[in-house]
Amino acid sequence: MAKKVLLAEDEKNVILGVRTCLDAVGYDVEIVEDGDEALNSVRREHPDLILLDLLMPKVDGYEVLKELKGNDVTKDIPIIVLTAKAEEEDRQRAMDLGAEDYMTKPFKPQELWDLLKQYLHEHSD
């Protein structure tokens, strides 16, 4: 069965790009456009992995991280932050809140696929 990936991102064009990228390798992608929706979706769908933007409306990515990593039911879902925030302190803050990885925009599809494989424990062919 295809792995379920939740993409929390509010930029339409980035959504299109990342979705195309994930569709191409057969992931089952769910899209949410703000932090509040992200939290609801995780509780409802329990995805295998979350790709999380930091700057989002309503509830930002840091809050989402805090909520999900502080909850026994969701704390083991790997979260990869995908963000334009390239400052070291932003990375540190996200990692301290429990993010599994942190990728700065822009990135190449291969870099994203490699990370997904790593955290979904898939072996490369």
Residue ranges in contact with other proteins by CB under 8 A: 11, 13-14, 16-18, 20-21, 24, 84-87, 104-110, 112
- Chain-centroid distance of CA 38 in Å reads 10
| Residue 19 CB, nearest approach to other proteins (Å) | 10
Dihedral sign computed on CA atoms, order 31, 10, 121, 100: negative
Compare residues 51 and 68 and give the one whose CB is closer to other proteins.
Answer: 51
Q: What 3 state SS string does 60-83 have?
A: CHHHHHHHHHCCCCCCCCCEEEEE
Shortest Å, Cβ 112 to other proteins? 8
Tell me how far apart the alpha carbons of residues 22 and 10 are, in angstroms, rounded to a whole number.
17
**Least gap, CB of 45 to other proteins (angstroms):** 24
Q: Which is nearer to other proteins, 44 or 108 (CB)?
A: 108
User: CB-wise, 15 or 97, nearer to other proteins?
Assistant: 15
